[in-house]
Amino acid sequence: MRKRVSLKDIAHELGVSTAVVSYVLNDKYEGRVSEAKAQQIRETAKELNYTPNQIAKSLKKDKTFTIGLIIADISNLFYSNIARYIEDESKKHQYNMIFGSADENAEKFNELVQVMLSRQVDGIILAAPKGTESTLEYLKDQYIPFVLIDRHFPSIPDINTIGINNFQASYRVVEHIAKNGFRKPAMVTLSVDLFHMRERTAGFKNASKELLNILKPEVVEIDEEVLSGEIEDRMLKLIKDGVDLVYFSTNKIAMEGLAVLVKHNISVPREIGIICFDEADAYKIFHTSITFVKQPLQQIGQESVELLISLINGNQSAKSIVLGTQIIAGNSSAPH
Amino acid sequence: MRKRVSLKDIAHELGVSTAVVSYVLNDKYEGRVSEAKAQQIRETAKELNYTPNQIAKSLKKDKTFTIGLIIADISNLFYSNIARYIEDESKKHQYNMIFGSADENAEKFNELVQVMLSRQVDGIILAAPKGTESTLEYLKDQYIPFVLIDRHFPSIPDINTIGINNFQASYRVVEHIAKNGFRKPAMVTLSVDLFHMRERTAGFKNASKELLNILKPEVVEIDEEVLSGEIEDRMLKLIKDGVDLVYFSTNKIAMEGLAVLVKHNISVPREIGIICFDEADAYKIFHTSITFVKQPLQQIGQESVELLISLINGNQSAKSIVLGTQIIAGNSSAPH
DNA sequence: TTGAAAGCGCTAACAC
DNA sequence: GTGTTAGCGCTTTCAA
């Protein structure tokens, strides 16, 4: 069977101590080991196909060079994209990443946190689902370095957060809508009680009132579980009611909503205008180029890793980083 | 600062030995520890918020309950979907998964293998890029349990493989094409020297000759690096040449190809028929439902994990599992 | 029923 | 320059 080669094997082979081998293989032998012996050790290591055992190293140093990432929902493109950036950035800093999706489920989230902790991750980046405040408090109490992305829990003070201004992003969407001559927009969103989603809705409502003089802005909330079943009727109703543009609050809703339009042969922007939150590669096979709110995914990934690592290295400050968004204008919301 | 709670802390708190605590917390104390003491220990563990240190456990037991997954290209939906299934299945078997993408780069692949080995994964599932035969040989020589998915290297005998019959899948696509009255199909694929892709092409060519009496089947090969730049001209040329259906050999090519059709307002299947290899959620926002070859992703994920775990547990047999594919007929290749 | 102790592979403080 | 050794947190054998 398989027998992994250890420091001891190399030491034994050469009749030296494991310490010497460790020094050489970690390039810490300046003034300790003769160059000749060092060379020998390196050669033997190569010959024997030595691979250092990180598990042992981690145990000894109480540091795994691993960060945990827990996202809320892997089936959302936004998160899978961000996961990529976080992985890339981690690698740049010589960290590994281990990863899990909580599927918007608080219990699953808590389990994942436990798994990550027992695997001794040095820190965690997380997009927490609803109802996980106590776990966040726990992490904070335990001084476990963590950074919250995308989501924000105003009830917990002094935690490290990185995200966008969702209210403002939505507000600007309505500015764009108004500028391009739409007068009766509706927002289609999920009925979920998360701060960042409420902010998106609030931005839309406020701006609709202020910029379009709409007394009761139209917001359709759909339960995530029944999304693909319900959205068809809801969309058709909006159109029948004379809504002239639909603003989808996430990627996932957008895909479902656009599918309805395709199915019913509804032309964009002629019959209805469209704006989506978040981008998707798939938009390019829709019959019209899509206007969308672009979040700085790469920057979120990058900064969250950097912030986390600085926390791991003992930096104490609680930071809330708010990044900017852009509206990428396509033909789907062209002047009306 | 943070101080993690260890077995020793619990033992100390109660004035017992760490052994007893270990027994109790692992439910292995039958006939060894009194129920009263066991209860006490469990309570203290809970009070102190004890989390077992998996790193130490792994070191001791020489087993990490972690499997590595290396995929060829994360930006390919096929792989990201399969990664999900593999993660789910691993979790079911109480394994964690660590993950990396080689981006079709042999060197990156080799590095990833090293990372996984040094983190002492119990086994690896991999979709290997071109030019990695020697690494596979190495893994084999070292008796490191691994399972190859999607890809196949005929030059290496007796390794565990899970995939589909690509030749047959393409052959059946042409059967479908012929049955539906198309007479001049073209295949658009990547110019990459991988066995499974060559098989897809060969199946198309053979069937075109045998079923459609085409002497020189039309196969357009595009270099992956220039895909989105080149595909537009190549597609337009095909259409000008009177090709009546295009068969895209992967997900990624399909998305780029469909985008060209959208851009030029080319109607499917009226002006050109379409069949794609692999499914994509995004197809639903294309103006016509898409015919595609469906691989059994979940089954691939599930069986690869099961096979790997059986290898980890000492099973020696070299298996090659070939799973079936389906053609899901949409309107994009409707009778002509 | 209980506890002491060895040892997994590695690092680093400490002799020599 | 070189080697010895303790110990990271845990499991498990062995002795009491």
Chain A closest CA to B124's CA: distance in Å? 15
Strand C reaches within 7 A of the A22 CB: yes
pLDDT at B3 over 80: no
Q: Which residues of B touch A99 (CB under 8 A)?
A: 99
Quick one: pLDDT band at residue A129, thresholds 50, 70, 90?
very high
Q: Whose C1' is closest to the CA of B59: which nucleotide?
A: C8
How close does chain B come to A209, measured CA to CA in Å?
32
The Å distance, CA of A64 to C1' of C2, is 35
Q: Enter the pTM of the model.
A: 0.92
Instruction: From residue B66, give the alpha-carbon distance in Å to each of A115, A160, B229.
Output: 12, 30, 40
Q: Which of strand D's nucleotides are less than 7 A from any protein C-beta? A: 1-5, 7-13
Tokens of B235: 């597609």
Angle at which helices A133-141 and A106-118 cross, to 10° = 20
CA atoms within 13 A on the CB side of B29: 19
All residues of chain A having their beta carbon less than 8 Å from the beta carbon of residue B73 are none
Residues 6+ apart with CB under 8 A from B33: B20, B23, B24, B41
Name every chain B residue with its beta carbon within 8 A of the beta carbon of A54. 118-120
Of the listed ranges A11-15, A131-135, B242-246, the least confidently predicted one is: A11-15
Q: Which residue is nearest to nucleotide C3 (CA to C1')?
A: B17
Determine if strand C comes within 7 Å of the CB of B10: no
Nearest-nucleotide field for B32 (CA, C1'): C1
**Phi/psi of residue B152, each to 5°?**
-145, 135
- The predicted structure's pLDDT at residue A1: 54
Which amino acid, one-letter code, is at B335? P
Distance in angstroms (rounded) separating the CA atoms of residues B143 and B184: 49
Average pLDDT of span B309-323: 91
Q: What percentage of chain B exceeds 70 in pLDDT? A: 99
Q: What's the mean pLDDT when you consider all of chain A?
A: 94
Residue whose CA lies closest to nucleotide C7 C1': B60
CATH architecture of B166-295+327-333: 3-Layer(aba) Sandwich (3.40)
Instruction: Look at A118 and B84 and tell me if their CB atoms are within 8 Å.
Output: no
- Secondary structure letter of residue A119 according to DSSP: T
A142 in contact with B, Cβ within 8 Å: yes
Å between B19 CA and D14 C1'?
13
Strand C bases contacted by the protein (CB, 7 Å):
1-5, 7-13
Domain boundaries, chain A: 7-51, 65-164+297-322, 166-295+327-333
Rg of chain B in Å (alpha carbons): 26
- At A336 the pLDDT is 84
Q: Are B136 and B159 in contact (CB under 8 A)?
A: yes
Q: Tell me the average pLDDT across B257-268.
A: 97
Least Cα separation, residue A157 to chain B (angstroms): 19
Taking only residues 201 to 220 of chain B, the set having a beta carbon closer than 8 angstroms to any beta carbon of chain A reads none
Could you give the CA distance from residue B294 to residue B308 in angstroms, rounded to a whole number?
24
Q: Band the pLDDT of A31: cuts 50, 70, 90.
A: confident
Cα nearest neighbour of B67 on chain A: A98
State the pLDDT at residue B34: 85
Contacts of B287 in chain A (CB under 8 A): 262, 287
Question: Could you tell me whether strands A185-190 and B146-149 are parallel, antiparallel, or unpaired per DSSP bridges?
Answer: unpaired
Architecture of the domain whose range is A65-164+297-322: 3-Layer(aba) Sandwich (3.40)
d(C-alpha B59, C-alpha B62), whole Å: 5
A-B contacts at Cβ under 8 angstroms: 93
C-alpha torsion sign, points A216, A220, A223, A226: positive
Give distance CA A54 / C1' C10 (Å).
9
pLDDT at A2: 63
Tell me, yes or no, if the two domains A65-164+297-322 and A166-295+327-333 fold the same way. Answer: yes
**In this model, does residue B13 exceed pLDDT 90?**
no
If pLDDT is split at 50, 70 and 90, which confidence band does B35 have? confident
Is cis: bond before A129, omega within 30 of 0?
no
Q: What is the pLDDT of residues A48-96, one digit of tens each?
A: 989 999 999 999 999 999 999 999 988 888 998 999 999 999 999 999 9
DSSP state of B194: -
- The residues facing A274 across adjacent strands are A246
Check whether residue A32 has its CB closer than 7 Å to nucleic acid strand D. Answer: yes
Contacts of residue A212, defined as CB under 8 A and 6 or more positions apart, other chains included, come to A174, A177, A178, A183, A185
Instruction: Provide the 8-state DSSP code for B221.
Output: E
Q: Does the pLDDT of residue B269 top 90, yes or no? A: yes
pLDDT at B263: 95
pLDDT tier at A117, thresholds 50, 70, 90: very high
More confident residue, A33 or A265: A265
Residue A96 sits at the chain B interface (C-beta within 8 Å): yes
- Residue A326 in contact with partner chain B when CB distance is under 8 A: no
Positions 228-247 of B with beta carbon below 7 A from strand D are none
Residue A285 sits at the chain B interface (C-beta within 8 Å): yes
Q: Do B53 and A287 touch (CB under 8 A)?
A: no
Neighboring chain A residues of B59 at a CB cutoff of 8 Å: 53, 55-56, 59
Tell me how far CA of residue B304 lies from CA of A22, A262, B83, B196, B312, in angstroms: 37, 37, 11, 17, 12
Whether A56 has its CB under 8 Å from any CB of chain B: the answer is yes
Pick from A285, A286, A297 the residue to mutate for testing the B interface (most B CBs within 10 Å): A285
Beta strand segments in A175-238, E: 185-190, 218-222
Closest Cβ–Cβ partner in A80, A99, A282 for B282:
A282
Kindly list the distances between the CA atom of residue A100 and the CA atoms of A70, A113, B32, in Å, as whole numbers in the listed order. Answer: 5, 9, 38
Q: Shortest Cα distance from A102 to chain B (angstroms)?
A: 12
Least confident of A3-12, B17-26, B84-93, B259-268: A3-12
